Chains A and B, each alone.
Chain A
Amino acid sequence: MEQRKVRLEEKNVEKRKAPVGTWFSLSIVAAIILGTYLLMFWFYMDRV
């Protein structure tokens, strides 16, 4: 049981190291959301 747990954790660590590509893509998603917000917010405040 203990051993299995350790093995599972190792596996998790191994998996967690990997997703640089995922994070890179997700940061693009976040940047586009923030960018769109700022764009529209800029238009809004400019017209107040």
Chain B
Amino acid sequence: MSTPLQALKKKTNEALGIRPEDAVLSKSYLLVAFAALLIGGILGLLQGLNRAGLLDLPHWFNYYQVLTAHGLLLVLVLTAFFTIGYFYAALSHTLGGLLPKVRKLAWVGFGLKMAGFVLAVIPILMNKATVLYTFYPPMAASPVFYFGLVFIVLGVWMCAFGCFIQVANWRKQNKGKHVPILAYFATGVFVLLFFGSIPVTIEVFMIIPWSLGWVETINVMVARTLFWAFGHTLVNIWYLTAVSAWYVVVPKVIGGRRFSDTLTRVVIFLLVIMNIPGGFHHQIIDPGIAESVKFLHVFMSLAIGLPSLMTAYAMFSVFEKTAKKKGGKGVFGWFKKLPWGDVRFLAPMMAMIAFIPGGAGGIVQSTNQLNQVVHNTMWIVGHFHLTVGMSVVLTFFGISYWLVPYLSKRVLTPKLNKLGVIQTIIWSAGMGLMAIAMHWVGLLGSPRRTSYTTYFDNATALGWDPYLLFLAVGGTLLMIGVILQVYAVVHLMFFAPKGETEFPIAEEEEDAAKTPYWTERWGRIIFVMLLVIAMGYVIPMVEFIVNAPPGSPPFKTW
């Protein structure tokens, strides 16, 4: 039972909205996220224009520097800062305000991450860390770049610890009660962030002495595998963040109830448990991993698809139920009853639609030898622009239209809602066009991570050019989308009319069954997660280390 004090806190929180100190924290995180979107978006446009053969990038800021910065800003800064800003607002809202020490931890984390990004970006701008965001050894960047990464990870850990302390404190004061669903999502996300970033930390600590010249060689397969244990987890951290809005926020926005609380929690902890070994599907055509191990990993990767297929069911079921209450009938009728003109629904809905082909591509390209058809081709770039660029980012945009005014105590005006709808359409069109072209040209063989080239006027390569033009078209549309979105965020944060905006959290169905308490046993969930990680990693890691070749010295090939 909650203490009277807690109950009072919760009530005041709901009545008066978020506390100003907590609002400043989340607003700062969101501002950094959207600043990263603006800069990362401009860099993306430059790349699109280059790949289409329309723009030569100068020597002092070449394609691969642009690509390194684009990747770092969008897949690290935008997503991490948004995720943290959003979940800290949710923790504050649903757990009765942040504890002072938790807020302090989040600010320390903010500082550490900003310091880390500055350290990482300086060598990138100086062309001393043109290693792309995957920084595979034996390419060696300036040590400063890796120091930056360490600070970023430390900053992320501060935020993870803050979340754990906040949730543990709430549980202590509310014995026997379920953590509110958004706080449960936050716990899942921060558990993944913490455990997922351990492998990359080990990797960076292998690299630092090597890049400083204190150690002569490095084991490239170990480094690469540690990277992907983190890299794939990062993907599902954004995804789980987006999913939280699909399950909890979208039903409220469309005027419905949310899907079964138990099944929602099951989806969350399944994603947490199965995630980390997914990294191996980035290494399907690597040497040094036996075919039998790779086959085991096909199963481990495809299993991650199951919670998403459960989500597909949950979403359609909620949509149909809600629309039927409003009189929508038959196979299609319900579709028209959804609030398509409301950006808070439209943006996450487009995100979900994009996840259908995105997820399908993910399942198929992880299927062992089929990966040979598309590995490291533009298909993959198309895939993650659908999944991250649409499923995740459009959901974030959709969230921003209520989260930002909620934080700034302002309201979303109908005019700005319309702007949001237009933004969503432009973004979907741009990303859709670009992603389709990328998928197809990838099937034809065009490689990813390569600046514009005809390979000495090779006929095959010249045949890709018409498709690559769509990268410029898509990139231009997306740039317009970025500008509209950043304008909307700034407007909602500082200029929109004053007022109260609700933090939309859907209620359960009236006849919902009680959620069993075992879903709260995070100790057990983490234990199973560690077992699954061991299942996936022990055999190949032992193989890489015991049968290691002589290591590689550092190279600077740019």
Chain A residues, CB < 8 A from B328:
21
- Determine the distance from Cα of A29 to Cα of B356 in the docked complex, in whole angstroms: 6
Q: Are B316 and A22 in contact (CB under 8 A)?
A: yes
User: Is B369's beta carbon under 8 Å from chain A?
Assistant: yes
Kindly state whether residue B523 has any CB partner on chain A within 8 Å: no
Does B373 sit at the interface, judged by CB under 8 A?
yes
Q: Which stretch, B26-34, B46-54, B359-367, B526-534, touches the partner chain A?
A: B359-367
How many Å lie between the Cα of A26 and that of B357 in the bound state?
A: 13
Interface string of B366-401 (1 = CB under 8 A from A): 010110111000000000000000000000000000
Q: How far is the CA of A29 from the CA of B319 in the complex (A)?
A: 15
Contact of B316 among A25, A44, A47 (CB under 8 A): A25
On A, residues with C-beta under 8 Å from B are: 11, 18-22, 24-26, 28-29, 32-33, 35-37, 39-41, 43-44, 47
B364, A40: Cβ atoms closer than 8 Å? yes
The verdict on B58 contacting chain A, using a C-beta distance below 8 Å, is no
Interface SS majority for chain A: helix
What is the bound-complex CA distance between A33 and B360, given in angstroms?
Answer: 5
Given A28-B356, A41-B370, A44-B370; A18-B364 close (CB under 8 Å): no
* In the bound complex, CA of A17 to CA of B360 (Å): 28
Which of A21, A26, A32, A36 has the most C-beta atoms of chain B within 10 angstroms of its own C-beta?
Answer: A21
- In the assembled complex, how far is the CB of residue B364 from the closest CB belonging to chain A, in whole angstroms? 5
The complex places the Cα of A23 from the Cα of B266 at a distance, in Å, of 22
Which residues of A are found within 8 Å of B333, using beta-carbon distances?
A: 21
B312: interface (CB < 8 Å): yes
Question: B320 touching A32 by the CB < 8 A rule?
Answer: no
Find chain A residues with CB under 8 A from B335 CB.
21
Check A44 against B372 for contact (C-beta < 8 Å). Answer: yes
Cross-chain pairs A/B with CB under 8 angstroms, 27 sampled: A18-B320, A18-B324, A19-B320, A20-B330, A20-B331, A21-B320, A21-B331, A21-B332, A21-B333, A21-B334, A22-B320, A24-B331, A25-B312, A26-B316, A29-B356, A32-B357, A33-B363, A33-B364, A36-B363, A37-B360, A40-B373, A40-B374, A44-B369, A44-B370, A44-B372, A44-B373, A47-B373
Bound state CA distance, A24 and B436, in angstroms? 24
Closest Cβ of chain B: how far from A21's Cβ, in Å?
Answer: 4
With a cutoff of 8 Å between Cβ atoms, the chain A residues found around residue B134 in the complex are: none
User: What residues on A are CB-neighbors of B511 within 8 Å?
Assistant: 11
